[in-house]
């Protein structure tokens, strides 16, 4: 049996492996979703942002900030998504200088058909596997991990790309 002092080290190794496994499976799942939807990763993420905005209007500026794109890059991306029938653009009802980006019924239907069953299955599994206190800890962990990812993303945005060899 291992001495008690190694328990935090053991847990750290298990957590690292579990996070690596989780991140890999998420990337694999996203890659398949991209394939089925016929989009690239940036377009998929933009579509996700638009669909999750609920009642708040998404604008090209919001997408540029969230995705780290230029205004021209967002325009090109929105043109692709609009051509595929996934988004529609319209003028803001009170400020005609602003453009609002909305998901189409086609996008909502396809995401509903593909993703919602997976989410429902995941929640059922988690709710049947953990008690309320454990779920609170898991939710807190995921929230903190997400906040750290945002911090890391902002740090990386400040780093110049490596030069080509």
Inter-CA distances, 111 with 13, 24, 152, Å: 35, 21, 28
- Give the Cα separation of 81 and 38 in Å (integer): 10
Domains, the chain, ranges and CATH? 20-104 (1.10.10.10)
- For the full predicted model, state whether its pTM sits above 0.85: no
Q: What is the pLDDT along the chain (165 residues), one digit of tens a residue?
A: 555 558 888 899 999 999 999 999 999 999 999 999 999 999 999 999 999 986 678 999 999 999 999 999 999 999 999 999 999 999 988 888 889 999 999 999 999 999 999 999 999 998 999 999 999 999 999 999 999 999 999 999 899 999 998
């Amino acid at each position: 049996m291992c001495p008690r002092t190694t328990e935090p080290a053991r847990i750290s190794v298990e957590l690292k492996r579990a996070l690596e496994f989780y991140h890999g499976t998420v990337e694999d799942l996203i890659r398949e979703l991209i394939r089925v939807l016929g989009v690239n990763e940036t377009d998929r993420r933009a579509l996700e942002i638009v669909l999750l905005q609920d009642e708040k209007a998404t604008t090209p500026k919001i997408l540029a900030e969230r995705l780290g794109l230029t205004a021209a890059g967002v325009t090109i991306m929105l043109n692709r998504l609009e051509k595929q029938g996934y988004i529609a653009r319209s003028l803001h009802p009170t400020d005609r200088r602003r453009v609002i980006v909305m998901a189409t019924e086609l996008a909502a239907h396809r995401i509903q058909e593909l993703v919602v069953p997976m989410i429902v299955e995941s929640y059922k599994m988690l709710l049947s596997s953990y008690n309320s206190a454990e779920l609170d800890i898991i939710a807190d962990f995921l929230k903190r991990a997400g906040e750290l990812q945002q911090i890391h993303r902002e740090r990386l945005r400040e780093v110049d790309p490596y030069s080509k060899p």
